[in-house]
Structures are given as C-alpha cells and as structure tokens.
C-alpha cells in the first residue's frame, strides 16, 4: 500500500491543508484530507476495469470550508440535528448554535467538518486528530478525536473513530461522503438496499418524533432494493419535508461494537457496487436534495440536486433529548469507538 502526502492549500492563517493518496496494488485509490478529516476521492474500477472517481467533491480545498453539503467530511461534535440547539446533562442545560432552521446541525457552523485536523501516516493508514476545547460550539468537556482511514487491496475504505473527554459530553460521529457509482450524473437510477425494517419519522424540521415506524408499505422500504428515484416523488411526510430522502433508518440487528451490514448501493450502468458496514445503530440516507448552488466540483463540474447520495452511519438524530435511543453520552475515562467500512466491488 502506497501512501503519498501532497500539499493541497493553506488556510488564511497559514495552516497546511494536505491530501493523502492511498493506492493499492491494483491502482485503485482513496484520497483523504486533514480538512474536516474528509474523503475527497475514491477511484475504483467499473465492470470493465475502468477507474473513475465515485465521490462528489470540489476542485479547490478552500471550497470545502463552510460548504452546505458538508461534502466528504466528518461533522461533529454531534452529527445530524439536535432540537432547538439544546440538551441537558446532569440537570444542566447546554445551548448550541442554531444553524438549520430552528435546530443545531452537524456540530454548528464551526463544527469538526470546518476544521483543519492534525494528520500523520501511521501503520499503513492515515490518522487525523482534532482537539475540541471545552465550550466549543457550546459543548462541555475537552474532547480529543481521532479518525483513522485504511485502504485495502480489496478496495475497502475503513474509517474508525475514537474519542475521549475530560468531562461528560455527547458525541455522534459519521462521514458525509456523497457517492455516485457512475462518476457523475444523476444518482436516482442507483439501486439501494437497506438492512432496516424501521425508520425514524420526524417533524417538518427533521427532528425525530420518538419511536421508529415500520417501513413496510411506505416509500421508506428499501429492504429488497429499489432505485432511489422510484418513490422519491411520492406524497409522504418524510419525502415532503426534505424534498427527497433525508431520514435515519434503524439498522436491524444492532448490537454495540458489532459490525453490521447497513446498506448496499449499486449501479447497473457501471456495475460498481458499494456495501456499507458499521458498528453504529442508524444510517441517514440523504439523496443530495439541495446540491444546486454548491461550490464548483472537480474539473469545474456543476452539481445538481440528486447527483449523489450520502450514506451516513451514525447514532440517531437528537439522541441527547431522546432517552429511549442508544446513548450518545461519553463519560470521562471512557472511550468512544465506532467503525464504518465502505466496501467497493463490481457485479
């Protein structure tokens, strides 16, 4: 496995932005960056062996700062939404920036996705480290986060998160890569299969209402696999609220620390496949409903709504305010540890 580091740009205050290119023996590669611990490219073969980049991203490093889509990056301290930007720990209420309608999203405007992380090559992978100070974006505790990427000879990109805090806090980490297994064009003809028989209904601001609902008999049913576009225009609350899919599914068979297959995505056109495995209880599927107007893409490409799909393995939205959900509380002396594997193939 070859790992090459390249200087990609600098922040206004002089911090170096790097790209790390991980290339296996077949020539397939994954490219990650210390800007938001991002996946900025994955070059994998189609059924004819032709390599293409299947990750939506931008031509310039600077475009990744503060972008609406959060392309390829690792948001935090809490991925997804927290209702009204408020939660309570041990009787104390914490207030977070509201940056998505009435709610807090992806850790706020200065979340982990908009930070330059420390980076290094280590033991055949790349590690990114970020230290989030007590009070940053309103969260309690000094939190140290490490995101580690490894790229295998079998074209599997493994992402492992670990985090420690010196005070009780809440943590929810994911990666927000957008996939298009044809390289470009609409993703609505991609097929998606989810290992999920329930999803989380939400209010119109995408905050979960509480208990999950069965997907059976609804447009949220991906258990047997169907195209993303088949039901996306149906008159259904979850689709009306987000102008497409932007919801969290409950992964069947979840057990803390155990890898489960969450999703399979494939394109009949290219033959490329993507299987997603995770230790986390949920997967947010977002069909790129608001990509219009985002920064210029690679090679000057203009992205449009539904040009890619994000498959975000994570804990459930608004978990700090929903005691029945798997806990996102991290206590001092404990280690947050979760994993996501993106396994690419062909069929």
With the C-alpha atoms ordered 288, 278, 25, 37, is the resulting torsion angle positive or negative?
Answer: positive
Is residue 104 among the annotated active site residues? no
Under 8 Å CB-to-CB from 50, ≥6 apart: which residues? none
From 104, 176, 190, 315, active-site residue: 176
CB burial class (10 A; 0-12, 13-18, 19+) of residue 91? exposed
Radius of gyration from C-alpha coordinates of the chain: 19
Report DSSP state, residue 238: H
Count the alpha carbons within 13 Å of 14 in the hemisphere toward its beta carbon: 0
Element (H, E) at 249: strand 246-250
Q: How far apart are CA 337 and CA 46, in angstroms?
A: 33
Contact 320, 20 (CB under 8 A): no
From 127, 312, 315, 338, active-site residue: 312
Q: How far is CA 22 from CA 8, 46, 200, 220, in A?
A: 15, 19, 36, 36
Best CA proximity match to 147, nearest among 175, 105, 108 = 175
Q: How far apart are CA 334 and CA 252, in angstroms?
A: 26
With the C-alpha atoms ordered 153, 49, 264, 235, is the resulting torsion angle positive or negative?
Answer: positive
Is residue 312 among the annotated active site residues? yes
Give SS3 for 117: coil
Active-site residues, by number, are 176, 312
């Amino acid at each position: 496995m070859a790992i090459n580091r390249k200087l990609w740009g600098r922040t206004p205050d002089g911090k170096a932005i790097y790209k790390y290119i991980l290339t296996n023996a077949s020539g397939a590669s994954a490219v990650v960056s210390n800007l938001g611990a991002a996946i900025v490219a994955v070059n994998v073969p189609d059924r004819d062996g032709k390599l293409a980049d299947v990750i939506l991203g931008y031509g310039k490093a600077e475009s990744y700062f503060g972008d609406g889509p959060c392309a390829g990056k690792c948001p935090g301290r809490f991925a997804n939404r927290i209702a009204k930007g408020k939660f309570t720990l041990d009787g104390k209420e914490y207030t977070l920036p509201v940056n998505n309608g009435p709610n807090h999203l992806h850790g706020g405007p200065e979340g982990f996705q908009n930070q330059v992380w420390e980076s290094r090559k280590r033991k055949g992978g790349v590690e990114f480290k970020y230290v989030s100070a007590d009070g940053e974006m309103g969260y309690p505790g000094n939190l140290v986060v490490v995101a580690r990427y490894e790229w295998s000879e079998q074209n599997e990109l493994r992402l492992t998160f670990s985090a420690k805090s010196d005070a009780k806090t809440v943590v929810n980490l994911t990666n927000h890569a957008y996939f298009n297994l044809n390289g470009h064009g609409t993703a609505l003809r991609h097929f998606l299969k989810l290992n999920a028989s329930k999803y989380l209904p939400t209010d119109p601001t995408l905050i979960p209402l509480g208990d999950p609902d069965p997907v059976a008999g609804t447009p949220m049913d991906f258990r047997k696999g169907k195209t993303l576009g088949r039901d996306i225009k149906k008159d259904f609350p979850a689709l009306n609220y987000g102008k497409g899919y932007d919801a969290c599914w409950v992964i069947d068979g979840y057990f803390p620390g155990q890898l489960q297959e969450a999703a399979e995505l494939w394109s009949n056109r290219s033959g490329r496949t993507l299987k997603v495995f995770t230790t986390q209880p949920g997967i947010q599927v977002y069909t790129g409903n608001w990509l219009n107007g985002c920064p210029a893409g690679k090679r000057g490409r203009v992205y449009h709504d539904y040009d890619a799909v994000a498959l975000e393995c994570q804990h459930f939205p608004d978990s700090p305010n929903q005691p029945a959900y798997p806990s996102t509380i991290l206590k001092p002396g404990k280690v947050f540890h979760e994993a996501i594997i993106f396994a690419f193939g062909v069929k």
